[in-house]
Amino acid sequence: MKDLNKKIMSEIKRSLGDNLDEAYVTQAKKYELSTELLSDKTKNSHQEILEAHVEKLNEVSAFLDTAERELADINNSKLRSLKEDEVYNLNASFLHAYYFENIGDQHSVINMDSIAFMRLERDFGSFDNWQKDFIACALSSRNGWAITVYNFFLNRYMNIVVDLHSNHVPFASYPVIVLDCWEHAYYRDYLGDKRSYTFAMMKELRWSRIEERIKKVEAMAKVSQGKAQ
């Protein structure tokens, strides 16, 4: 389990930036999104949102350092509010980073002999079934995310609908494909046509990055199952 935790923390550090230690002090990476399916204004706005969440994560971390644990309570508790904001901003930072990294491939292609293709086909019955289910999740998400995760409890890949950044996330799950479904992600360029935005982003999924994630998560799965070499 120690090895699994190390792998997870290493991936979070890689995605969020320089120094993510126990105090959660970190910096937002700068992303150059190559897609032409989002306007420059939308891309700049995305970067600003990531930076704002990382800044808030650092602020919350600083407040938590001095929060009085003896005053914790289920109602009107400063500690409780800070712990909620901690997860909210950590998830938001992590998911935005993962979203940026898996879109924008103008030559997007998935090979049928890739691990990504074979795993999605295995767990959804066919690659087309995965696509249909993922699109349905994107259209079902309110302000939130559509995510393909590997679930360590079920030992399989599944699509989930996340509202905001923290609602309906199953435990023991690790994201491999992430789509931002907040209105700010698409409204400037697609108005209310969320379906067209979803199709556009899926046309440019960066399968090489997704393949790397799947290889990493399957290495983690072996550790969690005690099968590591």
The CATH number of 115-224 is which of 3.40.50.1450, 3.30.720.210, 3.55.40.20, 3.30.360.10? 3.55.40.20
Please check whether residue 175 is in contact with residue 148, taking contact to mean a CB–CB distance below 8 angstroms: yes
Helices (H), ranges, the chain? 2-16, 40-66, 78-101, 115-124, 127-140, 183-190, 194-203, 207-224
Spans of all domains in the chain = 2-101, 115-224
Range 115-129 average pLDDT: 98
The pLDDT tens digits for 141-150 are: 999 999 999 9
- pLDDT per residue as tens digits for the range 40-97: 999 999 999 999 999 999 999 998 888 888 788 888 888 999 999 999 999 999 999 9
Is pLDDT at 183 greater than 70 in this prediction? yes
Predicted structure pTM score:
0.85
> What Å distances lie between residue 66 and 53, 63, 69, 205, CA to CA?
21, 6, 9, 42
DSSP secondary structure of 108-155: ----TTSHHHHHHHHHHSSHHHHHHHHHHHHHH-SSEEEEEEEETTTT
